[in-house]
Chain A
Amino acid sequence: MSFRINWNAIEKGSLSSWSTELLNDALNTGDRPNMLSSEIQIEDLNFGEKAPDFEILEIGDLGSDRFRGIFKLNYNGDASITLRTKVQANPLRIYNDNVIDDLIERSNPSYSDGVEELANFVKPQFVIADESFSIPLNLTLSQIKISTIIIIVFTKSKGLTLVFKNDPLESISINSTFDRIKPLAQLLQKKIEIQIGELFKEFLPSILYKFSLKYTTESFDQFHKDLLREELDDLLDKRVNFKDIDPEAPMGISPGSLMRLTTLATARQTLALGGKLSADRMNRDILTKSYVNHIVQRSFNRLRLSESDFENINKNVDVIRQFQTKIYYKHNGDNPHHLLDHGVSPKRRVIKMKKKKNQSKQNSLQSESSSVLSSPAASVPASAMTSPARIISRKLPEVVHDVPMSSEESDWSSSTLFPRSRKPSGASRFISMSGNTLQKSSSVGPISRREPSPPLLRPIAASAKVSPLLNLGSMSSYQKEKPLPFANPYFDSLKGPAMVFKSASSSRSRSSSTASAASSSSTSTISSSTNSPSKSKMSEEVKGTNRREMLNLFLKYGASDFSNSKAAKFSVGPTHPHNSNGIVSLDTPPPYFA
C-alpha cells in the first residue's frame, strides 16, 4: 500500500514559515560552536514540486494505544534549503575561545566564574593576531536523495520511536560561498553529509520522541478537547460582517435577502430547516426520510450525543425490544391457549392503556352493540401480526436503534442532541450507524408499503387512544402532545394508511388528503392480503367470535371503498360511548374496517 501525498498543499500553507521558524530555533539552541560568529539563519526553504514516495511495507501491531509499522520512503525531489551564517576565519580567535571552553568543560559548571581569568592568565597575549574576522557563508542544500526503510513503533506509554534501517541520505548537493576553493568545498560536503546522517539517525528520532511524549502523557480526551477548541475558535474567527463586504453601505442588503440569511443562520443554529427539508408537518417528532437523510449526509459528523442521551436510548430500546419480542413469541407460539389462559389478547399491544378496566367494559360493549364489527377488528391484527412482526423482530437490532433515536428523543432537533461540548463519543458513531440503518429501512419502506398490514397500522390507531372517526379534537390534541412510540421511517411508510382515517374523518390537511388518495389502493390490497393465509388460524384464536360471520364482514367491509364507508363509519361512531373518554382499547375497530 502506498500513500499519495498532496505535496503542493504543503507549500501553500504556513508550513513553510512554520518550519523555518522551527529550524531557526533548533539550529540556534545550545552553545554556538566557536567556528561560527553569528547565528544560523534559514534564508530559503523550498519543499519542491515532487512528493516523496511513501510506502507501507508492513504493519505489525495495530491497536488503539500502540502501533508498529515498517515504511519505505523514497525521495528524489527538488527541495532545497539555504542557510546563512558567519564563519570565524581567524584560527587564533578560535584558539582563544577554545581555551576558555576547554576550561569550562573541565570545571564544575557552577564554578565557572574564575574561568576567564584563568584562561587569560595562561594563554599568550596575542597582539592583533587574534582579531576577529568573520566570513559570511551561504550554504545551499539541494538535490536531496533519500531512500530508506523506517520502522515506527508507537505505544501510548512509551511514545514514538523511529528507527532508520539504513543511512537515509543517498546523496546531497551542497553549494556554498567556498565553492571556488575546491578543498574547502570538499571538506564542507563531507562534513555536512556526516552531519545530516547524524541528524537523521539521532536528532530526528529524539525530537520526535520528545514530541510524542508530550502528547501521550496528556490524556487523549484533553487532546481532543484542545483540538476541538481550536477548531471552534477558528470558526468564530471567520465571521464576516456586512461592513466588510460593502463598507460604503453596510445595510445595503435587501430586506428579502436579509430575511433569507437570517433563516439560514438560525437554521444553522437550531437545525430546524425551513423549506423542503423538514420534519413531518403533522408531527414534529416524526422525521421524514428526506430530513433524516439530509441530516445523516450533511451533518452526522457534527452530531454529538452526551452519555446521558445514550443511556436514555438504551432504556427505551430495551423497553421496545421486550415489547416486540413478547408479541412475537406470543403470536408465533404453538400454544394459542397460552393467550387465552391469561386472558391476554393481541390487543395488549397498546401497553399504555388501562386495559383491565376497559377490556371488561369493551367486551360488554362490543357484545352489546357491534360485536360483529369488533370481532374482525380484533382478529385481523392477531392474524396479520405473524408475518410482519417477524420482519420487525428480525430487523430488531437495527430498527430498535433508530426508533428511539428519532422518536423518544423528543427534542431531536434541539440542541440537546448537538451538545455544545462537542465531545465525540460512541453516540456519534451510533448516529452514523443508524444513518445506514435508516437508509436501509427506507429501502424497506416501499416493500411494506406495497403490502401494508393492518397490525402494523394498528399501533398507530391504537396509540391514538381515540378513534379518529369519533373524536377529532382528541386526535389533534394527541398529535400535538404525544409522540408515537414507533415513529420512524418504517412507520413513515405506514403513515399513508394511517392518514386514511384522518381524511376519512375530516380531510383536514392537504397532505393527509393526498396520502389518503395514495393509500386508498393499498388499503384495498391489505384486506386481500391479510385475510388469505392466516384467516383460519386467527379466527380460532379469537374468543367467542363466529368465524364465518367475521369472514363475511371482513370481506364486505374490507372490499368496500372508503367513500362509501364514510357514512358507515359515522354511523358506527356513536356506538362507542367510551370514545369520548379517551380510553378506548384496541378492540375498537379500526375505522376502515368499520
Chain B
Amino acid sequence: MLGYMEYLQDCFYTSTGWNTDNNYDNILATSRNLLAFPIPRNFRFELSSRSSEFTNSSVSLTNTGILGGSLSYLSTTTPLANAMASRSVPLQSMVSGYRILETFGPRLPTQFVGATLLYGRIYFPSQFLEGMVIKRVSPNTQFILKCISTPKVTGGVKGGGAMTFYWQTNKAKSSREFIFSTSEALLGFRCLYNIGKGFRDGPSRRGKIFGSDGSSLSIGTELWYGALSMSPGLSTALRYSTYSSSTGAPMTMTLSCNPLLGSFSSTYSVRTGIGSTFCSKYDLNVYSSESDLSFGYEFWRSIATRPPKEQPKLDAPAFNKLNEEEQMRVVGEFIGAQQDKFGNPGAAWGSRGTAPFHTARKFVSNLRETDFSSVLKASTSIQTGKLSVSFSGKIKDFLVTTGASVNLYDTSSTVKAYGVQIQYSS
C-alpha cells in the first residue's frame, strides 16, 4: 500500500495532468506491482491529515525493536481536490496493482504550469531528512529534485547527503528523462516512444483515451553511467497493452532485455475479471542460461456489486445532449447488442473495431466504479522459491496492510519478513 505522501504525489500528478504511465520508469509497473509488491517489514501506524487543500501533514510510528517514527509535510500550489480521506478513498488508488493505461500525453497542460509540490520528512530518532520538490516547468516538462541528508551525530559518524535531479519531458508520442544523482555521479537517460496511430503530440482531445483500437505499443530504453565508479547500465523494454476482444479484459505484455548482461524477461499480465489479475514472468539469461518463472496473483474483493445503472431511455435530443463519451458508449452498447443478436463480429459493420473498444470501455468503467474492500496479493518464483503474500484492506476507516514472505525451499528459515501497516487520514 502506498504511503499517504506517495498517494498525494500521485494525486498531484493526476490533478496536474501528468501521465506517469508514459514514463519509461513505469513501463514494467504492472508486473512489478504484481510480482514484487512491497511487504511491510515492521509495525507502522500512520496518521495523516489534510489541514487544507494545499497542505498536508503526516505522522508515522514504527516499531522494529526500537521505536521510531517520522514527521512529514507536503504542500502544493494547486489544490489537490482528488485526494480523499481514508474513509472514502478507493482502494485501487492506494494499492497499486494492474495499471490500466490511461490517456497518453499530459492533459490540461497550460493550466498547471508552475504547479509545485514541496515535501519534507524527518525520521526519528535517526534524524534523517528527505525532501522533494516537483515543479512543472512547462506544459510538457517537469523538474524533480529529491534529496536526503544524514545528520552529523555524535559518535564519529560523518554526516552527508545525496541529491537526485530529474528533468522530464512528457509528450503523447514520447517521453524523455534526464537524471543526475550525486551519489557516484550517476548520469541517466530514459526515453519512451509510443508507436502507432492515434497518438498525437500536443494537447490531446478529451476522450481520446485509447489508440485506434484501445491498444498501445510502447518502446523505451534507459542508459546509465556512474561517472565515479565507471559503472554502465543499460536496458530496453517493449510494452504492448490491449483489451480482450470478447471480455474487454485489459492485458499487458512486456518484453525487456538487458543487453549488457544478456538477460531477457517477458511478462504477461491480464486482468481476468473485475476482481482478479494474473501475471506471469519468464526470465532467461542467454549468457548463463539461468531461467526463472514467476507468478503473481491479485484478488480484489468488492464490498457490494452496485445495481446496474438504469439506462435512461434515449431519444434523439437526449442523445445529442450527451457528451461525446456518453454518445460513444450508447452507440457501443447498441452495436454490442446488435452483435449479440446476429452473432457477428463487429467488423461486419465496417467500423474500426468499435465493438471490442466498447467492451473494453465497459470493463474499465465497471472497474473504476466498483468499491473494493480488500485485496490479496500473492507471488512466487520457481527459481528462488520465495513466496510473498500481502493483504490490504479497509477496516472501518482504517487502511490496513499486512504481509509476509517465506522461502519455500529453505525450510530451516522462518518467515523472512512480515509486518503490519495501519493508516488513517482525514
Residues of A at the B interface (CB closer than 8 Å) are: 89-92, 94-95, 98-99, 102-103, 106-108, 110-115, 118, 121-131, 133-135
Contacts and interface: CB of A to CB of B under 8 A. Distances in A.
A118 B130 contact: yes
A103 B62 CA distance: 19
Contacts of A112: 126
Given A114-B126, A124-B181, A128-B258, A92 B148 contact: no
A127 B237 contact: yes
Most central of A91, A124, A126, A133 by chain B CB within 10 Å: A124
Contact of B186 (A95, A106, A114, A118): A95
Contacts of A135: 288
Contacts of B164: 122-124
Contact of B224 (A94, A126, A133): A126
A174 to B, nearest CB: 23
B126 A127 contact: no
A127 B222 CA distance: 8
A131 B292 CA distance: 13
Given A127-B27, A127-B237, A121 B146 contact: yes
B224 to A, nearest CB: 6
Given A92-B224, A94-B231, A102 B155 contact: no
B28 interface: yes
B146 A122 contact: yes
B153 to A, nearest CB: 5
A123 B226 CA distance: 12
Contacts of A118: 123, 128, 130, 148
Contacts of B24: 127
A560 to B, nearest CB: 98
Contacts, number: 135
A493 to B, nearest CB: 76
A91 B226 contact: yes
B188 A124 contact: yes
B150 A133 contact: no
B263 A128 contact: yes
Given A92-B224, A114-B70, A129 B235 contact: yes
Nearest to B237: A127
Contacts of B260: 90
B157 A129 contact: no
A108 B152 CA distance: 9
A106 B288 CA distance: 36
Given A90-B261, A102-B183, A128-B265, A111 B66 contact: yes
Nearest to B163: A122
B64 A113 contact: yes
A131 B261 contact: yes
24 contacts: A90-B261, A95-B226, A95-B231, A98-B184, A99-B162, A106-B150, A106-B159, A111-B126, A114-B68, A115-B126, A118-B123, A118-B148, A122-B162, A124-B179, A127-B24, A128-B28, A128-B235, A128-B257, A128-B258, A128-B265, A130-B233, A133-B261, A133-B287, A135-B288
Given A114-B123, A126-B233, A127-B25, A89 B261 contact: yes
A123 B130 CA distance: 12
Contact of A129 (B62, B123, B233): B233
B285 interface: yes
Contacts of B224: 92, 124, 126, 129
B130 A125 contact: no
Contacts of B288: 133-135
A131 B234 CA distance: 10
A121 B130 contact: yes
Contact of B126 (A102, A107, A124): A107
A57 B34 CA distance: 71
Contact of A125 (B25, B231, B234): B25
Contacts of B232: 91
Query: Most chain-B CB neighbours within 10 Å: which of A91, A95, A128?
Result: A128
Q: Which of A108, A114, A125 is packed against the most chain B CB atoms within 10 Å?
A: A114
Contacts of A127: 24-25, 27-28, 222, 235, 237, 256
B157 A107 contact: yes
Contacts of B226: 91-92, 95
Nearest to A135: B288
Given A110-B66, A113-B126, A114-B126, A91 B258 contact: no
B386 to A, nearest CB: 13
B413 interface: no
B42 interface: yes
B297 to A, nearest CB: 22
B231 A91 contact: yes
A90 B24 CA distance: 20
A99 B160 CA distance: 12
Nearest first, the 9 A-B pairs at minimum CB distance are A91-B231, A111-B126, A129-B233, A92-B233, A133-B261, A129-B235, A114-B123, A122-B148, A128-B235
A126 B66 CA distance: 31
> What is the interface of chain B mostly: helix, strand, loop, or mixed?
strand
Contact of A113 (B62, B150, B166, B261): B62
A121 B148 contact: yes
Given A108-B126, A123-B164, 16 more contacts: A90-B260, A91-B226, A98-B184, A107-B128, A107-B150, A111-B68, A111-B123, A115-B126, A122-B147, A126-B233, A126-B235, A127-B222, A128-B265, A129-B224, A129-B235, A133-B263
Nearest to B155: A108
B184 A95 contact: yes
A135 B262 CA distance: 12
Contact of B258 (A114, A124, A125, A129): A129
B157 to A, nearest CB: 6
A132 to B, nearest CB: 9
Interface string B174-197: 000001010110101000000000
Contacts of B160: 102, 106
Interface in B118-152: 123, 125-126, 128, 130, 132, 146-148, 150
A129 B146 contact: no
Contacts of B162: 99, 122-123
B206 interface: no
Contacts of B146: 121-122
Nearest to A105: B157
Contacts of B222: 126-127, 129
B85 to A, nearest CB: 24
A390 B305 CA distance: 125
B162 to A, nearest CB: 5
A513 to B, nearest CB: 82
A98 B228 CA distance: 13
Interface in B61-78: 62, 64, 66, 68, 70
| Of listed A94, A98, A108, residue having the most chain B CB within 10 A | A108
Contacts of B235: 126-129, 131
A117 B229 CA distance: 23
B420 to A, nearest CB: 15
A114 to B, nearest CB: 4
A135 B126 CA distance: 37
B341 interface: no
A181 to B, nearest CB: 14
A3 B77 CA distance: 84
A113 B183 contact: no
A126 B235 CA distance: 9
Contacts of A92: 224, 226, 231, 233
Contacts of B309: none
Contacts of A99: 162, 183
A133 B183 CA distance: 22
B306 interface: no
Contacts of A131: 235, 258, 261, 263
Contacts of B132: 121
Nearest to B220: A127
Contacts of A122: 130, 146-148, 162-164, 181, 183
Contacts of B64: 113
B147 to A, nearest CB: 7
A102, A113, A134: most-surrounded residue (chain B CB, <10 A):
A113
